[in-house]
Structure 1
Amino acid sequence: MISISEAISIVKNNGKPLLKKTIKSVEKASGYILFEDVVSLINMPPFRQSAMDGYALNLHDSLSYNLVGEVKAGDGHQPNLKKGEAVRIFTGAPVPDSANAVMMQEKVESNGNSITIEHQIALEHNIRPLGEQVKAGNIALKKGTKLTPAAIGYLISLGITKVSVFKKPNIAIITTGNELIEAGQDLSYGKIYESNSKMLLSALYSLKFYDVTLNKVEDDYDKTVSALKKVINENDLVLITGGISVGDYDFVGSALKALEVEELFYKVKQKPGKPLFYGKKKNTQIFALPGNPAAALSCFYVYVYISLQKMMNREDLELSRVKAKSISNFEKKGDRPQFLKAIYNKGEVEILEGQNSSMLQTFALSNALVYASEEITKIEIGNTLEVIVLPI
């Protein structure tokens, strides 16, 4: 059995970036990382653009101008202004080449066919220059940039429809247990509804990992070996829930050994989630998570999250950890470090009741995990605690 810090270090050191390229349509690329630089094919803006509603001027010494027309957003005509002439103009409209400033409408007095401005203004005032954001041929976004909604909007504004991005991992979730049935079926005596696979699927979706398959295997050695062999060969990451303990019908450990999966660690000194397995075969990362739902999800956020970030070649591998003042008292049992379900808000953290590893009700209310180290035996109101902020 190893420590939490050792386990985290092993996951970090054994994970590898996928470094595979795929092409995505821009509108479906949110959350992906650019595989290569994106070069703009156009200037943005593609013309001199008015920054506000007002009047485009061909400046001269007087404050009075002759009004000779109007330019709206989307207009394609080019009025030719002489010195002392102006056109009404609107935000985003193309500024005529013959205009050299825009005066906001609040500082203009209209007199029918002429206007008077409050004061002289500087050349190019209130005009967005051609290529102010990016010029044609220049890099719009660099390789390694995460595509946020703003980045998606920016690329589409440049007319870019497809991008080259780092491929996300193919992931398989495999559940074991003869007692498990699908929600919606009649719940006969001795059966429980299987929730771990959908819980982990939801966690992956929330992190924008969508290439996920769900698999179920009976508590049978040969069937476990066959199912695991298939998903290990076909995926970059395999998450197994249940069957990793040492019961008579827990076949995952022996099946992984038969498939010559390299064991990197098995069992971590922690609560919940002690019977956690991490290994690899060739380039496939494999986690055998505990069957208890709260333990499985805790291990996902502490360990699997790191593996996912490493695969995507990201620098921030762990979830954010902050310090917070406890507003709860809590008596820690046993000598293992614990991850406690909690609610974090504005520098304070509340440790919730119901910390059993088989219970999800408390986890459903949580937005954080308090890390209670081995040395901590009791938490009192006012204590400063280390808090892992969950991505929910």
Structure 2
Amino acid sequence: MISISDAIYLVKENGKPLLKKTIKKVEKAGGYILFENIYSPINMPPFRQSAMDGYALNMHDALSYKLIGEVKAGDGHQLDLKKGEAVRIFTGAAVPDSANAVMMQERVIPNGNQITIEHQIALEQNIRPLGEQVKTGDIALKKGTKLTPAAIGYLISLGITNVSVFGKPNIALVTTGNELIEAGQKLTHGKIYESNSKMLLSALYNLKYYDVTLHKVQDDYAKTVSTLKTVIDNNDLVIITGGISVGDYDFVGKALNELDVEEQFYKVKQKPGKPLFYGKKKDTQIFALPGNPAAALSCFYVYVYITLQKMMNRNDLELPRVEAKSSSNFEKKGDRPQFLKAILKDGEVEILEGQNSSMLQTFALSNALVYAPETITIIKKGDTIEVIQLPV
């Protein structure tokens, strides 16, 4: 049994970027990481652009100007201004080449085809220069950039329609257990509704991983070996729930051993989620999570999340951790570090009742996990504690 810090270290060390390139439509590339530099095909802005509503001037020494026309956003015509002439102009419109400043309309007194400005202004004032954001051929975004909504908008503003990004992993979710039945079926004595696969599927979808297949295997050794061999051979990441403990019908560990999966660790000194397995076979990463739902989800956020980030070549490997003041009292039983379901709000965190690893009701209300190390036995109201922020 290893420590949490050692387990996290091994997950980080053994995870690798997938390094597989895929082409995505820009508008569908949100959350992906750029596989290569993107070079701007145009200047942005592609013309000298007015930064505000006002008047474009060909400046001279006097404060009065002759008004000779108007330029709206989208107009393509060029007006030729002589010294002492001006045109009405609007935000985003192309400034005529012969104009050398834009005076905001609040500082102008119009009078028919004449205007008077309140004061002189500097050359090029209120004009966005050609290529102010980026010039043709310059790097618009570097390889490794995460495509946020702002990045998507920026790329589309450059006329870019497709991007090369790091491909996301193929993921298999495997659940084990004779007692499990699908929701919607009649619940007979001794059976329970299987929730882990849909819970983890939802967590993956929430993180924008959609290439996921679900697999169910009964508590049968030969079938477990066969199913695991298939998913390991055909996926980048395999997540198994249940069957990893030491019961007579827990066949996952034996099956992984027969399939020559390289074990990195089995069992972590933590609560919930002690019977956690992590290994790999060639380039496939494999996690066997505990069958108890709250334990499985905790392990997903603490460990599997890191592997997903590594596969996508991201730098922020772990979920954000912050310090917050406890708004409740809690007594930790046992000597293992614990991840406690909690609600974080306005710098305070409430540790919830019902921390049992088989219970999801408390987790359903949580937006955070409090990390209580083994050195802490009592958390008092007002204590500063470490909190892991969960994805929302």
Give the TM-score, by structure 1 length.
Answer: 0.98
Deviation track 1:111-154 (CA, whole Å, cap 9, x = no partner) reads: 11111111111111111000000000111001111110000000
Tell me the equivalent position of 1:274. Answer: 274
Matches within 5 A, 1:46-61: 46-61=46-61
Tell me the equivalent position of 1:221. Answer: 221
Answer yes or no: is 1:371 the counterpart of 2:371. yes
Q: Counterparts of 1:184 and 1:84 in 2: how far apart (Å)?
A: 80
**Which stretch shows the higher mean deviation, 72-81 or 341-350?**
341-350
Answer yes or no: is 1:165 the counterpart of 2:175. no
**Which stretch shows the higher mean deviation, 188-197 or 42-51?**
188-197
Q: Counterparts of 1:157 and 1:191 in 2: how far apart (Å)?
A: 55
Amino acid in structure 2 at the alignment position of 1:304:
V
Q: Counterparts of 1:75 and 1:222 in 2: how far apart (Å)?
A: 72
Matches within 5 A, 1:342-357: 342-357=342-357
Tell me the equivalent position of 1:129. Answer: 129
Tell me the equivalent position of 1:97. Answer: 97
Structure 1 residue 90 displacement after superposition: 0.7
Q: Counterparts of 2:317 and 2:354 in 1: how far apart (Å)?
A: 29
Matched residue SS, 2:305 = helix
Tell me the equivalent position of 1:361. Answer: 361
**Which stretch shows the higher mean deviation, 38-47 or 19-28?**
19-28
Q: Counterparts of 2:79 and 2:384 in 1: how far apart (Å)?
A: 67
Answer yes or no: is 1:5 the counterpart of 2:5. yes
Deviation track 1:51-74 (CA, whole Å, cap 9, x = no partner) reads: 111111111111111111111111
Amino acid in structure 2 at the alignment position of 1:354:
G
Tell me the equivalent position of 2:308. Answer: 308
Matches within 5 A, 1:24-103: 24-103=24-103
Answer yes or no: is 1:107 the counterpart of 2:107. yes
Tell me the equivalent position of 1:337. Answer: 337
Amino acid in structure 2 at the alignment position of 1:31:
G
Amino acid in structure 1 at the alignment position of 2:321:
R
Unaligned regions of 5+ residues in structure 1, if any?
none
Q: Counterparts of 1:332 and 1:179 in 2: how far apart (Å)?
A: 31
Q: Counterparts of 2:188 and 2:131 in 1: how far apart (Å)?
A: 68
Question: In percent, how many aligned pairs have the same letter?
Answer: 84
Matches within 5 A, 1:238-257: 238-257=238-257
Structure 1 residue 194 displacement after superposition: 1.4
Structure 1 residue 185 displacement after superposition: 2.3
Matched residue SS, 1:226 = helix
Q: Counterparts of 2:233 and 2:203 in 1: how far apart (Å)?
A: 23
Matched residue SS, 1:103 = strand
Structure 1 residue 346 displacement after superposition: 2.6
Paired residue total: 392
Tell me the equivalent position of 1:21. Answer: 21
Structure 1 residue 188 displacement after superposition: 2.5
Matched residue SS, 1:197 = helix
Structure 1 residue 206 displacement after superposition: 1.6
Matched residue SS, 1:76 = coil
Amino acid in structure 2 at the alignment position of 1:40:
S
Unaligned regions of 5+ residues in structure 2, if any?
none
Tell me the equivalent position of 1:178. Answer: 178
Q: Counterparts of 2:231 and 2:211 in 1: how far apart (Å)?
A: 13
Structure 1 residue 177 displacement after superposition: 1.4
Structure 1 residue 175 displacement after superposition: 0.8
Tell me the equivalent position of 1:328. Answer: 328
Q: Counterparts of 2:182 and 2:155 in 1: how far apart (Å)?
A: 42
Structure 1 residue 32 displacement after superposition: 0.8
Amino acid in structure 2 at the alignment position of 1:271:
K
Q: Counterparts of 1:265 and 1:3 in 2: how far apart (Å)?
A: 10
Amino acid in structure 1 at the alignment position of 2:201:
L
